[in-house]
């Protein structure tokens, strides 16, 4: 599955796709989740509730958000690859984050959910041939290709991994 060109997605998603290195997108998706997991591994359980500012999501919220978005982007890819009819709705991340109740869950359970979603999407993308990868559909009012969604998933994770590293872990007090 080749890197999509800019005509295959709304310009908003360029910020994610541009963060993805060149290479096999399936391998990038496989290794990406492991890189994010390694970033959080061995941290104290209290890290799940850490917010670098009062109005920001907690680490747990970020991981739940990754699952929500990956599930949404993966469903869009499935729908369009299988020639599903009709426009798909947008995802308003803040109400979804509030309803995820991430603070009531352990970081381990959130990571396990995300791993399951990623495994499902990897199986889906492995089964998509070149023709299906170029199929398009409309989501959030914008036309997008199936292959663009694979790259968006990877780039969205990279974006949030950088945020976890630079905004959360870099600011976290040593005792946390």
Helix/strand/coil (H, E, C) string of the chain? CCCCCHHHCCHHHHHHHCCCCCCCHHHHHHHHHHHHHHHHCCCCHHHHHCCCCCCCCCHHHHHHHHHHHHHHHHHHHHHHHCCCCCCECCCCHHHHHHHHCHHHCCHHHHHHHHHHHHHHHHHHHHCCCHHHHCCEEEECCEEEEHHHHHHHHHHHHHHHHHHHHHHHHCCCCCCC
What CATH number does the domain located at 23-169 have?
1.20.120.450
Domain ranges of the chain: 23-169
pLDDT tens track for 109-163: 999 999 999 999 999 999 999 999 999 999 999 999 999 999 999 999 999 999 9
Question: pLDDT at position 173, please?
Answer: 81
Mean of per-residue pLDDT scores for the chain: 96
Residue 87, pLDDT above cutoff 50: yes
pLDDT tens track for 27-59: 999 999 999 999 999 999 999 999 999 999 999
Residue 174, pLDDT above cutoff 80: no
């Amino acid at each position: 599955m080749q890197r999509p060109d800019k005509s295959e997605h709304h310009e908003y998603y360029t910020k994610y796709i541009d963060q993805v290195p060149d290479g096999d997108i399936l391998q990038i998706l496989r290794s990406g989740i492991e890189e994010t997991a390694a970033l959080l591994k061995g941290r104290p359980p209290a890290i799940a509730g850490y917010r670098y500012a009062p109005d920001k999501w907690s680490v747990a919220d970020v991981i739940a958000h990754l699952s929500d978005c990956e599930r949404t982007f993966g469903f869009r890819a499935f729908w369009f690859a299988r020639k599903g009819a009709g426009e798909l709705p947008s995802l308003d991340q803040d109400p979804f984050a509030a309803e995820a109740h991430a603070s009531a869950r352990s970081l381990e359970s959130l990571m396990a959910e995300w791993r399951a979603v990623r495994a499902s999407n990897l199986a889906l993308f492995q089964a998509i041939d070149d023709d299906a990868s170029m199929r398009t559909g409309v989501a959030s009012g914008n036309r997008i290709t199936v292959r663009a969604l694979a790259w968006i998933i990877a780039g969205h994770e990279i974006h949030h991994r950088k945020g976890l590293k630079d905004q959360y872990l870099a600011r976290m007090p040593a005792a946390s």
